[in-house]
Amino acid sequence: MLSSLFYICSMSRLHVLWFSNDLRVHDHAALTAACRAAEREGGEVLPLYVFDPKDWQGEAASARQFDFLLESLRDLDKALRHRGSALQVALGAPETVLLDLHRRLGLTALHLHEMPGLHHQTQAIETLCRRAGIPLRMHGQNGVTSALTAASDWRQAWRATMTAPRLTAPAHIPSPPLTPADWPDAKRLSLAPSWLLPAQKGGRGPAIELLRSELDRAQAPSIGTPSLMDRLSAYLSLGTVSVREVWQALQKAYAAEVAGQNKANPYLRDQLGALEHWCQSAQHMANKPVASANPPTANASPDISAKLRAWKNGRCGVPIVDAGMRAILVHGSAAASLQPVLLDYAEQILGLNRTDALAHLTSLCTAADPRLGAVTADAISSRSPRARLQQMIRASKALDPDGVYIRYWVPELADLPTEYLHAPSDAPVHALIESDIVIGQTYPNPGAEDAASAIPALLSAPRPAAPTRQTSAKPAKRPPMAPRPRSKRATKPHQPDPKTGQLSLIF
């Protein structure tokens, strides 16, 4: 369906610029090459984005992702119009859209970046260009390329890409007369309305603002707040900002900190490492062979749907998993350190296969995260359910030894002593009574069905003050059965407003 591609074009030298996960005009190799070729040959450039219905039919797609993408595309269209062009939008299979364009207009060349996470689109486009005789100009992006497989070769090439000068945005893009884009809505793609609140605003502007604010602060955020790379992941996945721009900005700020204080800033250094890890994960996806989707999980328990909803709502009964899932629902991104635990719970406890677990977790994020696909499954499937659960509790103690992160995101457990915080169901009765916790009511049993409790009700409870990562300390333990003051919380976290009946989020 090409409802927006109606224009009069008498030129015989038309270069199509295919946007996919590179929604920007700055530091854009394909855009730069297309503009130079068009100017050299006296041709024109047609910027194009295609909504492939196949990309929105799987379990991993969500209306939250669609809204974020649409905001990013509108921001890109605004940048293109500022340079004398406009984004054209089509709805359909990429190969069908491209073939129709070539038959009607005769394409001189197709310019695009490699798409590591969209193997089916890349293969279909390459096959069509080869059969139709359309010159294909494919460029690497973010230092990720399917041509490099060895880790040493990749790291050397990636560093060379990061240190190379950035490409400037063209001042003018020669384009034929273009009509305004016909933006599809979620309904046209058969996407159900999102039950999730907006997590991030799409576009280049919010990404740059986020980067600048983090560089100005140049210190670790408070507990409960995702790191810079966790929040930038969605923008990097859609390419509203390039990895090289982020890397060079971090390097500049890091060098300034070292020069000014004569010492390295650990937070900036950690984010540089996290950025390289993000690209390594994208490279892993580029090297990964294309596999067909796994069939639905076999031999799943009858209540798998209820347990799955409890996991996605942050009500599965394992505090570290609940904390990580609630953070995703609010911020739209999964902390890299928690991703293995979240996926292992879905796979080892819920019984999902890895593909299904990835799809469900991705659907909650603002955009696909390549780090999720690079997570290695924990080899504990042969153990008993109790042994698997104990493995995750040990991981919880290693990830959050003081329990500060759990207390922030699971406030109903905030008064529980740290020694019992990671496994409340195993806590002694006196500790639960002192903390006003009733397992199965105020907090669920691990894996128990608790689909009626929605995440907005839990997040509406006041959270304890969030100390910074450098100043977190263990809370003082109370003596057994010691009297404790009543909680200062005026309302219980699970009850809606008595006047409006609505549940609200408090950040």
What does the DSSP assignment read for 157-191?
Answer: HHHHHHHSPPPPPPS-------PPP----GGGGTP
What is the reported pLDDT for 275? 94
What is the reported pLDDT for 80? 96
- As a whole number, mean pLDDT of residues 342-357 equals 88
In which residue are the tokens 């509203």 written? 240
Residue 174's nearest CA partner among 26, 17, 28, 20 is: 17
Q: Choose from 47-51, 129-133, 372-376 the range with maximum mean pLDDT.
A: 47-51
Torsion angle of C-alpha atoms 93, 97, 100, 101, degrees rounded to 10: -170
What is the reported pLDDT for 266? 84
Domain-wise residue ranges, the chain: 14-187, 204-287, 304-459
CA distance 421 to 404: 10
pLDDT (tens digit per residue) in 193-228: 777 778 899 999 999 999 998 887 767 777 778 889
Of 367-381, 401-415, 420-434, the least confident = 367-381
> In the predicted model, is pLDDT for residue 385 greater than 90?
no
pLDDT (tens digit per residue) in 391-425: 889 999 999 999 999 999 999 999 999 999 999 99
Whether residue 64 contacts residue 362, with contact meaning beta carbons closer than 8 Å, is answered with no
CA distance 346 to 356: 9
The band of 149, judged by pLDDT with boundaries at 50, 70 and 90, is low
Which residues, in sequence order, are bridge partners of residue 17?
Answer: 47, 111
Q: Choose from 11-15, 133-137, 198-202, 230-234 the range with maximum mean pLDDT.
A: 230-234
Of 165-179, 340-354, 435-449, 462-476, the least confident = 462-476
- As a whole number, mean pLDDT of residues 265-290 equals 83
The rounded percent of the chain whose pLDDT value lies above 70 is: 77
Of 164-168, 279-283, 415-419, the least confident = 279-283
* Side-chain-side CA neighbours of residue 251 (13 Å): 11
Q: Do the strands 136-139 and 107-113 form a parallel or antiparallel pair, or are they unpaired?
A: parallel
What is the reported pLDDT for 44? 94
pLDDT (tens digit per residue) in 25-42: 999 999 999 999 999 988
One of 1.10.150.240, 3.40.50.300, 3.40.50.620, 1.20.1270.10 is the CATH number of 14-187, namely 3.40.50.620
Whether residue 54 contacts residue 356, with contact meaning beta carbons closer than 8 Å, is answered with no
What is the reported pLDDT for 121? 67
CATH number, domain 304-459: 1.10.579.10
CA distance 68 to 61: 12
